[in-house]
Structure 1
Amino acid sequence: MADLRKDYVLDKFVVVPEASQAAVEKPEGSKCPYCPGNESMTEPALLALVVQDGMLQRLSDSEDSVIEDWSVRVFQSKNPVVTTTTATSYSEKPLYSEPAYGYHQTVVASPDHKQTFSQMSVEQWGNVLVVIQDRVRWLYTQKSVTYVSIYVNSGAGAGAQMAHPHLHIVTFSSIPPIIELEAEGSHRFMNENGNCPACNIIGVESSGPRQILATDSFLSFCPWAPTYPYEFWIFPKRHITSFSKITQKEINDLALILRATLGGMSKALKDVPFNLVFHLSPEKKNSRQLHWHIEVYPQLNTWSGLERGFGVFVNNIRPEKSAEILGSASRKELAGLVGIV
């Protein structure tokens, strides 16, 4: 099991492999382990979503059979960041570390190897979100799971090791620093102002110069102070802290705005590599809560010493201009998706 080491002073954590752990190697050969027919190349499916007669079935592999004709497939990662292997390698200050305990699951988002997140149908996106919601609910029932992180690396420039569209779900026994800061900031804002900061942001950004797209339930916009060029966020309009509790109607609406904005970004920025992350509330009792949302980080620039060494980010395009470009492309995508010529 790897170690989760804390910085000498800062609340910054690093996963460090154990001394005997071999370096992760990229899969070799022409076969993609995520493609249908190659299921034996991965761990058994913990969940295989199958669409049959318009109904969704949640199935799993057994010792005797492998689920075929799946729409979305989930299994334990073969190169996990964290594991549930028993370990007791703790150390205290100033050299604090704890076992990197947790679950690392891979979600194959489509059976089609060549289909990107910006090309997937709205229906397929909906299936992916149903699976994510299922996994989040289950993982939060497990021992020592304090936080469930969900993210996409799309393209080699964004850290993807496999071209086949997939997501990662990684759990931690403590709350990641960025989420902790965001939750603490939200809690402080609510105490000082009496309302949720995200709800306040939604009011400010709705129909403003940084809005990209709005649907019945969600708003997409470029943030006021973006870390990345063309960065954008997607927020549910209603105040809700638990992704596990969003309705099927909201899942369908989220699938629509994700497909439209990612499709618009792909066309406007020529299939740019990107990271997509879910910022969810910790769902354990007594945790600070936040208005959950999604953030998308196009990877266009390489950071300099200013960003890496001092945390001061230089953006080469104003978010208002980013929103204008992404909004135009995303509205065209949306029109095509809903059949408006």
Structure 2
Amino acid sequence: MGDLRKDYVLDKFVVVPEANQAATAGDKPEGSKCPYCPGNESMTEPALLALVVQDGMLQRLSDSEDSIIEDWSVRVFQSKNPVVATGAATSYSDKPLYSEPAYGYHQIVVASPDHKQSLSQMSVEQWGNVLVVIQDRVRWLYTQKSVTYVSIYVNSGVGAGAQVAHPHLHIVTFSTIPPVIELEAEGSHRFMNENGNCPACNIIGVESSGPRQILATDSFLAFCPWAPTYPYEFWIYPKRHITSFSKITQKEINDLALMLRATLGGMSKALKDAPFNLVFHLSPEKKNSRQIHWHIEVYPQLNTWSGLERGFGVFVNNVRPEKSAEILGSASRKELAGLVGIV
């Protein structure tokens, strides 16, 4: 697609498009038609994976030159407007004007065939299907050449950068570790050397019985962090120490599906369908000694940053995380009760 340019001094990267080409992040609607809806499959790249539910069994299929898979539950394909591309030119430049090819895969995961069904409304079963597909993609992508990191994220709502209203996720790979993950891994590595245990496991112990807890299931804990960047920001951590999402069990997938549905549903009701971003923070799965306890972070987009945030990296949050947890926790527990049949 273009270049991955590094800041003169900081470990900050920016994707810059080729000359006479605009940078985009995902597919856009063509006229009044949604490219992600059933019946419009020809508007996207062929399905690399189409999850089909038949007789209670999941089948992993893919499009061919002769046929397009129909009646799918989850569909995955290459983005037509990728942030990164495998056909990027292999050109590098030296410091201080360092750049490298924006090489990688950009895949779209359509989370539901129902255009009007948001991620906060999907069934727990459907969320489970989505997580199974994401796990499949992560495993496959890490077998590919020049894939150092697999990023997974959601843009929900125009205010969060969504190009298409249909519920979907992005999977984008990089040939280098993203700066935020690198910093988190370095901090975790340093903490473990100094204290002898995982910082995330320590955090889980603190937040499990604290005022910032939102919801707990058998395998996961949702809480508002002590120093949140965004109002009503919350994180979801697996309770057991694990660095790889691709290695979680089916039982944990089912539990995570319940947690995501309950917390996103609660957030949607409490914040009146506010736009949000959701990101997976995963450890690099290729040879790397610095690992992180994998988790999910959710950022509601309610405010516009000021010069203080943009220019100095000092964030002003107008809602205390304890208050955020109180509001989100109440709404999420009501969602969970409805999902599991408790009146």
Q: TM-score, normalised by structure 2?
A: 0.98
- Distance apart, 1:31 and its partner CA: 1.1
| CA apart distance, 1:100 | 0.2
Matched residue SS, 2:80: coil
Q: CA offsets per residue over residues 87-127 of structure 1, 9 Å max, x none?
A: 12210101000000000000000000000010000000000
Structure 2: segments with no counterpart, 5+ residues = none
Deviates more, 1:65-74 or 1:283-292: 283-292
Equivalences for residues 3-18 of structure 1 within 5 A: 3-18=3-18
Does structure 1 retain, via aligned residues, the 8 Å contact 2:88–2:102?
A: no
CA distance, structure 2, for counterparts of residue 5 and residue 119 of structure 1:
38
Distance in 2 separating the partners of 1:130 and 1:49: 9
Q: Which one of the candidate residues 279, 285, 297 is aligned to 2:281? A: 279
Matched residues in 1 for 2:22 and 2:340: separation?
Answer: 49
* Misfit runs of 4+, over 6 Å: none
Distance 2:88 2:308 in 1: 40
Write the deviation string for residues 150-201 of structure 1: whole angstroms up to 9, x where unpaired.
0000000000010000000000000000000000100000000000000000
Where in structure 2 are the equivalents of 1:21-36 lying within 5 Å? Answer: 21-22=21-22, 26-36=28-38
In the TM superposition, what whole-angstrom CA distance separates every residue of 1:14-58 from its partner, at most 9, and x where no partner exists?
A: 0000114256x8433111110000000000000000011111100
**SS at structure 1 position matched to 2:96:** coil
CA distance in structure 2 between the partners assigned to 1:335 and 1:207 by the alignment: 20
Per-residue CA shift, 1:262-291, capped at 9, x if unaligned? 000000000010000000000011341100
CA contact (8 A) 2:51 2:58 kept: yes
TM-fit CA distance, 1:207? 2.0
CA distance in 1: counterparts of 2:197 and 2:280, whole angstroms: 22
CA displacement at 1:219 relative to structure 2: 0.1
Q: Secondary structure at the match of 1:271?
A: coil
Q: Which whole-Å CA distance do the structure 1 matches of 2:58 and 2:258 have between them?
A: 19
Deviations, residues 239-280 of structure 1 (Å, cap 9, x unaligned): 000000000000000000000000000000000100000000
Question: SS of the residue aligned with 1:47?
Answer: strand
Q: Distance in 2 between matches of 1:111 and 1:287?
A: 40
Cα displacement (A) at 1:86: 4.5
Moved more, 13-22 or 99-108: 13-22
Q: Which residue number corresponds to residue 127 of structure 1? A: 129
Q: 2 CA distance for matches of 1:55 and 1:290?
A: 34
Deviations 1:209-263 (A, max 9, x none): 0000000000000000000000000000000000000000000000000000000
SS at match of 2:263: helix
Q: Secondary structure at the match of 2:136?
A: helix
Q: How far apart in 2 are the matches of 1:127 and 1:294?
A: 17
Aligned partner (choices 181, 186, 205) of residue 188 of structure 2? 186
| Bigger Cα displacement from structure 2, 169-178 vs 287-296 | 287-296
Give the Cα–Cα distance (whole angstroms) in 2 for the partners of residues 54 and 37 of structure 1.
23
State how 1:78-117 maps to structure 2 within 5 Å: 78-117=80-119
Task: Tell me how far apart the structure 1 counterparts of residues 98 and 262 of structure 2 sit (CA, whole Å).
Answer: 44
**Is 1:162 equivalent to 2:170 in the alignment?**
no
User: The residue matched to 1:98 in structure 2 has which SS?
Assistant: strand
Does the 8 A contact of 2:231 with 2:302 survive in 1? yes
Contact between 2:2 and 2:88, CA under 8 Å: does it hold in 1? no
Instruction: Give the equivalent residue in structure 1 for 2:256.
Output: 254
Deviation per CA, 1:118-160: give whole Å up to 9, x if none: 0000000000000000000000000000000000000000000
Distance, in Å, in 1 between the alignment partners of 2:84 and 2:28 is 18
Q: Distance in 1 between matches of 2:140 and 2:255?
A: 23
8 A contact 2:223–2:325 mirrored in 1 = yes
- Distance across 1 between alignment mates of 2:32 and 2:95: 47
Whole-angstrom distance in 2 between the partners of 1:294 and 1:27: 28
Q: Matched residues in 2 for 1:27 and 1:48: separation?
A: 21
CA distance in 2, matches of 1:183, 1:327: 29
Contact 2:37 2:114 in 1 (8 A): yes
Task: Indicate the SS of the match to 1:5.
Answer: strand
Percent of aligned pairs sharing the same letter: 94
Q: Please tell me the root mean square deviation across aligned C-alpha atoms, in Å.
A: 0.9
